[in-house]
Amino acid sequence: MARPKIDEGKKCVRKDVSMEPEQYKRLCDYCQKVERPLSWVIRKALDEYLLKTV
């Protein structure tokens, strides 16, 4: 079964992000631990950071 189409205004924006190898390893380890994709973890962390600082 195909995934439902997403409204044009709700599509995610793709961006490249650079990080140190150790950060990437820790991020991948965490993603495996919580069984979530890397993009989901980054979006959630960014949301929390922006809520606290903006």
Q: How confident is the model over 4-54, as pLDDT tens digits?
A: 777 777 888 899 999 999 999 999 999 999 999 999 999 999 999 999 998
Residue 39 is predicted with a pLDDT of: 94
Phi, psi for residue 2 in degrees, rounded to 5: -75, 155
Residue 12 is predicted with a pLDDT of: 87
Residue 11 is predicted with a pLDDT of: 84
Count of structural domains, the chain: 1
The pTM (predicted TM-score) of the whole model is 0.76
Q: Determine the structural domain holding residue 46 and report its residue range.
A: 19-53
Q: What is the dihedral of CA 23, 14, 12, 53, to 10 degrees?
A: 50
> Does 41 fall in a domain?
yes
Type of residue numbered 22: E
Residue 54 is predicted with a pLDDT of: 85
> Does 27 fall in a domain?
yes
Cβ count within 10 A of residue 30? 13
